[in-house]
Structure 1
Amino acid sequence: MAAQEPDRANRSARRAREGRPARAPTIHDVAARCAVAASTVSRAFSHPERVNAATRERILATAAEMGYRPHPLARALPSGQTRMLGLLVPDITNPFFLGLIRGAQRAAAAAGYTIVLADSDECDETELTALDRLTRAVDGFVLASSRLSDARLREADSAVPLVVVNRRVPPVPSVLIDSAPATKRAVEHLASLGHTRFAYLSGPRASWSDARRWRALQSVARRGDLDVVRLGPLPPTVDGGVAAADAVLAEGVTAVVAFNDLLAIGVLRRLRELGVSVPGEVSVLGCDDIFGADFCDPPLTTLAAPIERAGRAAVDLLLRRLDSGPSGGRHRDVVLPATLTVRDSTGPAPVRRRDERRNEPTQVTATS
């Protein structure tokens, strides 16, 4: 095998003379230089304890000199690990997930792992397809705001280790951003400003967070004798908020609570086009405190979520599952609190509308 080395060297020199880029060295190039079998080079990287110490050091030094780096999937064949983690999000263009991706990436890199990112485009079938295609390429998955059913998530978890973000599907470990207490404070904030009737712009029908937020709003509204109208489900985008703003005005509410900041920003944009003052005529409140929420006109009152921290926690949970083996690392949730951040998009209810509704009966309704 060593006799092949001059031929490879001659081919590399010929490439250089012809101005063609030199190809990346392969495991066979390293083996030829060291006069060993390619399988010995592979073991030096994947199972170093099975290679003679002197031979192993010569192989590693030669590989470093030649610039050879073993492919992660090739290394996974003997070791059973790729050192890669899958991260699936429903909408990569949503700034909420940028913080989560950043947190997951930093936690993975610190542990020597690489993140493989996939966008399911708010579609459960696309999400399931990505899971199927990536299962052999990664050691485990973080699924953020998954749109899959509980049954499908449990089935997937039986095939590859999972951690879910903003879902609770026992026994799958999860990271939950608990917005219920902050939602209560948001309603109390609006009530303190004199608002007695407000709208909730709901998110995707399959969103677990949306259902929890709606239940919290209903509970607080009933206790406070307030009237809350549900509009949706809506796509959680700026365009979704623009489309919903006219329905908000038709409902005669004085405040809006949106499923996320993108919907709230869309409402702000449309109300501005219509000449409706915010917060003079309608107050607007979002959720997530994404990048840019404080740059709106007016700056957006919102429920701030520890998004990057959630990404780090999800990867930490997944790595603990991988370290503990098939029987460990399950039945655990990490709960992170959201907080109310008050800015200029909420203010006192209009006096005229407040007076008009003073003697009207209150109710909690849901409009789809």
Structure 2
Amino acid sequence: MASRRSAPEPVANAGRPTRAPTIHDVAAACGVAASTVSRAFSRPERVNAATRARVLEIAEQMGYRPSPIARALPSGRTTTLGLLIPDVTNPFFFNLIRGAERQAAAAGYTIVLADTDESAEVEATLVDRLFRAVDGFVLASSRLSDRQLRAAHARGPLILVNRRVSPVPGVVIDSTHGLRRATEHLVSLGHRKIVYLGGPRASWSDASRWRALQSACRRLDVDLVRIGPLSPTVEAGVAAADAVLLEEATAVVTFNDLLAIGVIRRLHARGISVPGDISVLGNDDIFGADFCHPPLTTLAAPIETAGRAAVDLLLAALAGDSAESRRQVILPTRLTIRDSTGPAPASSDARRHTRTPSAERTG
């Protein structure tokens, strides 16, 4: 009498390979082609219902998860979004990243983050490499030219943060009103000459802030001097502080808070009082701006809101909402007064130096 052979048992968890299972492992366990496994996940209507059920059951037992990129081949979607920023170590971008990630996760998307190192060349390379791997891009403080941004937008969904390039949609943190209030604050304290420490040469935000500060100073008849361009770092602020002193101004406004913190450090090292001898005012209100000594007067920006809004615009573009995806979202800044600004000193004896020409000047 022939022995009875039992039916094959389903694949058990104990049978999982030590490495991550592949589509070919699942196909071998099911006795079907790898293409059938692929269709079971991406095109279920093209697979027999019983076969698909067995593929999904065994895939679950083996711990197999299909690659988002592989699943995107037939559908054209990866459920991932690219977020490119110029400097991952800059605290300004922390909340931007958080806002973008939270909004993307709520919609079932994953953020792919890349650091462009303040380089237009690196940024262009990353956009090109990631173009087929993500469904769309958010470019924060992009260093690409207007022409490059329009070309990238023509290839696929693209949203800008802190950059305006028609017809590319975007989110702008507008410092115009905040800088007007900041100038009025300094003038009310008796300051009649201000130095502006500019940001990177390719920064759209820097150019916008410089124009706004020029306008405010002209209206209030304040002497304004520009020093820059500068890297938006603490180290650059330390190096620029000596140049600020040569201008014999009583107040300095910086492109961002990191530059302001660097200026305060250098002035303290030289025995110059902030704000007793010179007032310092930053931009962005980054984490830690209120921890430095003295706490920094600055323009607070809704950075996390900007990240959320950028992802909303990108998702609208992916959904085909042409009206919503063409929008420009404008977010205002507000002046936050702390201890780094105070009354202008009666004299400039503490900072009397030989005057040297500056990069730009307006009055």
Q: TM-score, normalised by structure 1?
A: 0.88
Checking the alignment, whether the CA contact within 8 Å between 1:196 and 1:226 is kept in structure 2 is yes
Paired residue for 1:109, among 99, 102, 105?
Answer: 105
C-alpha RMSD of the superposition:
2.2
Return 5+ residue gaps in structure 2 as ranges.
1-7, 350-359
Residues 164-188 of structure 1 show CA distances to partners (whole Å, capped at 9, x for unaligned) of 0001111111001111101100000
Q: Residues 102 and 308 of structure 1 are in contact (CA less than 8 Å); yes or no, is this contact kept in structure 2?
A: yes
For residue 291 of structure 2, the aligned residue among 264, 289, 295 is 295
CA deviation after TM superposition for structure 1 residue 102, in Å: 1.2
2:224 to 208, 224, 228: 228
Q: Secondary structure at the match of 1:136?
A: coil
Aligned: 1:252 with 2:248: yes
Question: CA offset at residue 45 of structure 1?
Answer: 1.6
Equivalent residue in structure 1 for 2:23, among 7, 11, 27: 27
Residue of structure 1 equivalent to 2:308: 312
1:164 aligned residue (160, 170, 179): 160
Q: Deviation per CA, 1:41-96, whole angstroms, max 9, x where unpaired?
A: 21222123333444333322322221110011111111111111111111111111
Aligned length: 343
CA distance in 1, matches of 2:19, 2:92: 40
**Per-residue CA shift, 1:245-264, capped at 9, x if unaligned?**
00111100000100000000
Aligned partners of 1:288 and 1:278: how far apart in 2? 19
In the other structure, the counterpart of 2:40 is 44
Q: Does 1:146 align with 2:142?
A: yes
> Which of 186, 203, 207 is residue 190 of structure 1 equivalent to?
186
- Matched residues in 1 for 2:35 and 2:268: separation? 67
Matched-pair identity in %:
70
The one-character-per-residue Cα deviations of 1:278-317 (angstroms, maximum 9, x if unpaired) are 0000000000111110100000011011111111111111
Aligned to 1:362: none
Q: How far 1:328 moved relative to its partner?
A: 6.1
| Residue in structure 1 matched with residue 338 of structure 2 by the alignment | 343
Give the letter aligned to residue 185 of structure 1: R
Structure 2 Cα separation of the partners of residues 240 and 141 of structure 1: 30
Which sections of structure 1, spanning at least 5 residues, go unmatched?
Answer: 1-5, 355-364
Runs (4 or more) in structure 1 with deviation over 6 Å come to none
Q: Distance in 2 between matches of 1:346 and 1:189?
A: 9
Instruction: Tell me which of 95, 98, 123 is aligned to 2:94.
Output: 98
2:203 corresponds to which letter in structure 1?
Answer: S
| 1:22 partner letter | T
The corresponding residue for 2:69 is 73
Q: Contact 1:168 / 1:174 at 8 angstroms: preserved in 2?
A: yes
Q: Which amino acid aligns with 1:334?
A: V
In the alignment, the residues of structure 1 paired with residue 316 and residue 325 of structure 2 have an alpha-carbon distance, to the nearest angstrom, of: 9
Question: What one-letter code is carried by the residue in structure 1 that aligns with 2:73?
Answer: L
When normalised by structure 2's length, the TM-score is 0.90
Q: 1:270 aligns with which of 254, 266, 269?
A: 266
Q: In structure 2, the residue corresponding to 1:352 is in which secondary structure?
A: coil
Three-state SS of the structure 2 residue aligned to 1:351 is: coil
Deviations 1:106-156 (A, max 9, x none): 111121211111111111111111111111111111100001111110011
182-191 vs 47-56, which deviates more? 47-56
CA distance in 1, matches of 2:82, 2:210: 30
Between Structure 1 and Structure 2, the one with more helix by share is: 1
Cα pair 1:261 1:288 within 8 Å, conserved: yes
Determine if contact 2:298/2:336 at 8 Å carries over to the other structure. yes
Contact 2:21–2:63 (8 Å) recurs in 1: yes
Q: Measure, in 1, the Cα distance between the counterparts of 2:115 and 2:47.
A: 42
The letter of the residue matching 1:115 is I
Answering whether residue 88 of structure 2 is matched by residue 88 of structure 1, we say no
Mapped contact 1:170–1:331 kept (Cα < 8 A): no
